[in-house]
Structure 1
């Protein structure tokens, strides 16, 4: 049986810890201001150890961003469509609110990504948001929601607005 210390030192566990620290640091300082030294300090590791897993700060940011979008995608994907007429949007809102409560730094990270002009980050953000839109449209189609493309756009627009209320600490104007 592995001890907690042995489990903590596995490469996958350490990579996850680095990603968790990166999300916190990037969401707090932003992509341009954050350094790998800041992330290493937050993860309680040496700075060179980061480069065992990630070639650059940009690659680390991309991995953190991918994880944030993956979490939303997974949450929406796992909502079953049990019958037509199910309040799918309501279920998705509940799932998203749970993500906002449990992973607010990931929401901050995503909001920042929309404004970063680095080509690889712009591409990852565009790709991830497009996949999320496609998923929502497909879910709405299966649930026979009228005009699923338009409804998905409105749904995601409301989600972005909710993200803004979280980032700006304005819960009183959240939908």
Structure 2
């Protein structure tokens, strides 16, 4: 699950590239565009569109958009630990504080146990939101878009696939790729 993040670039409804950030930035920097079709870049893990500042040389772009991780504030960044705020009721804080090693360690332990309890459900859950975000941007005006979203959330892969069958090829193939884990049953599918 902690694989290298990938980004997908669309020019209109045509997929140009799916690759790690450095490759995407290199391609974008050298891309010569003609026409007025929108250029959209998606983070495949979140489904969100992203914009990059492509001004300057390729080295400038890579340094700015894909910098080495910098230390900032509390936490243990080398381990990927980031400090954020969590709002809980007093009874929750009391329960967490009773655990050895503190509240943060207890929360990490509870989350890890929940993720391990049903890995197939976790994969499905982690696929639905990015797929829905992509659908909103790229499929929102396509036939049956609302029904496609309903099928995604219902876990109805057959209906989902049938509804996107007539969509533009690159949009259809990418949405099927993003949604695939949402329809896994955990039985080898």
TM more than 0.5: no
Bigger share in strand: 2
Q: Which protein is bigger by CA-based radius of gyration?
A: 2
Shorter-chain TM band:
under 0.3
Bigger share in helix: 1
Instruction: Say which structure, 1 or 2, has more relative contact order (CA 8 Å, 6+ apart).
Output: 1
Tell me the TM-score normalized by structure 1: 0.26
Tell me the TM-score normalized by structure 2: 0.25
